Amino acid sequence: MKFSFSDEQQEFRSVVRRFLEDKSPTTAVRRLMETDKGYDPAVWQSLSQDLGLTAVHIPEAYGGQGFGISELAIASEEMGRTLLCAPFFGSTVLAATAILKAGSEEQKKALLPGIASGETIAALAVAEDGGLWDAGSVAMTATPDGGKYRLDGTKSFVVDGHNAGLIVVLARKPGSAGNDGVSFFTVKADAKGLDRRLLPSMDPTRKLARLTFSGVTAELLGKEGAAAGPLAATLDVAAICLAHEMVGGAERLREDAIAFANQRYQFGRPIASFQSLKHKAADMLLEVELAKSAAYYAAAAADESDAELPALASLAKAAASEAYMQTAIHAVQIHGGIGFTWDNDTHLWFKRAKSSEVFLGGADHHRERYMQSIGA
């Protein structure tokens, strides 16, 4: 259903929200974002073992919960709301979806249960130094080597890549170009010749890594040379989940900013009573509600195998990018001077808004993709 949630979905959301309010207050976010690891293993275990969130959209046949993209998206939205520091997006949203879309039956059976249980943290390495998430821009090569492959090249902006035990990576047949010849591979994190470096990220709640492959032995995932389709499908799901994460964060920012404005007195009255501020708040509500509608619609479309899915995923990502960043700018402004300080929490979401705006392609990229997807 594209316009409402079922009672079960609403209950699921409130369970996740309660859990995250308890486990991911901003004190925890601040503590974890300063660490290289970037997450709390105890929370990760609880999130995967007790709530089953790492398994939510993985079919039961592969050790998952068997829910849909809508449920995965609800979890993403709630995590964006509290800025949960955990490798959820890299492992469950990106890597598990890629394995689901690209892997053979046997590979799904082998790889997914570990991700579903949270014991395996996986990452999906697509972009390289050019920072593009598409098959055509992959330069890394995969040279056949006695039934396996040797990978050479560099991947960058790999979310949660430094923590992952399993890397799903895109590489191309030497000499191929465009979407042709691009395949998925899997690599164990301790493979010989793989060098992983944590990148200093502007948004410290989203950890990024640069992975250099020098003759790393890899296994083919799925069909050789056929990665472009499954990659696009994976990135559609990822864009939808990211859009949810973003609207969740934006809504929280708006709530906090208005709560502050209600408390803050200047000129003898709460600044929330000034129309200049109220009108800003109304605009924030409008933008975020529209972006929420787009994200919810796209998630339901993914579950209904709507033919318009690529267009809807890009629409949702573009709408969320604008709404989150604009909300973050307003939120700092409403706080005034204190909003620009490190001690105030607003900048945590501001930075997440900025990193999410660019991650998986900016609003301009997704608007152009939307136009192409609708045949314009």
Partner 1 sequence: MSQYDADSVRKDLRQWLEANWDPSLGLVEWRNKLIDSGWGEPHWPKQWYGRELPVGLVPVVDEELDRIGAVGVARMGIRSLAAATILAHGTDLHKQKFLRRILTGEDTWCQLFSEPGSGSDLAGALTRAERRGNKWIVNGQKVWNTSAHKADWGLLLARTNMDLVKHKGLAYFIINMRQPGVEAVPLRQMNGHASFNQVFFTDAEVEPEMMLLDDGDGWKVATTTLMHERRGADGLRRYPKPSGRPERIYQEEDAEIASALAPYTWYPQRMGRVDLILERARQTGKIADPVTRQEIAKVLIMSRSADWTARRARVAQEMGRSQGPEGSLGKLAASYIARAANRVHTTISGADALLTGPDSTMGGVIAEILISTPAISIAGGTDEIQKNIISERVLDMPKEPRNDTDRPFRDVPKNAERK
Binding residues for partner 1, rule CB under 8 A, total 39
Position among 15, 139, 202, 282 found at the interface with partner 1 (CB under 8 A)? 282
Interaction of residue 142 with partner 1, rule CB under 8 A: no
Report CA-CA distances (Å) from 126 to 147, 149, 150, 169.
23, 17, 17, 6
Q: Using CB under 8 A, which of the segments 92-100, 114-122, 147-155, 270-278 binds partner 1? A: 270-278
| Residue 270 binds to partner 1 (criterion: CB under 8 A) | yes
Q: 83: closest CA among 360, 345, 283, 276?
A: 345
The CA-based angle 319-322-328, given to 5 degrees, is 130
Toward partner 1, which CB reaches closer, 60 or 283? 283
Nearest Cα residue to 115 out of 89, 78, 85: 89
Tokens linked to 152: 């050479």
Which region, judged by CB under 8 A, interacts with partner 1, from 40-48, 59-67, 227-235, 288-296?
288-296
What gap in Å lies between CA 286 and CA 240, rounded to an integer?
A: 20
Find out whether 330 and 353 touch, Cβ atoms under 8 Å.
no
Q: Say which amino acid occupies 38.
A: G
From CA 302, how far away is CA 93, in angstroms rounded? 14
Name the segment binding partner 1 (CB under 8 A); options: 14-22, 58-66, 181-189, 273-281.
273-281
Name which of 224 and 303 has its Cβ closer to partner 1. 303
At closest approach, how far in Å is the CB of 357 from partner 1? 15
The site map against partner 1 for 242-261 (x = CB under 8 A) is ----------------x--x
Q: Does 37 sit near partner 1 (CB under 8 A)?
A: no
Tokens of 24: 């991911």
* Contacting positions for partner 1 (CB under 8 A): 1-4, 258, 261-262, 269-270, 272-275, 277-279, 281-283, 285-286, 289-294, 296-297, 315, 318-319, 364, 367-368, 370-371, 374, 376
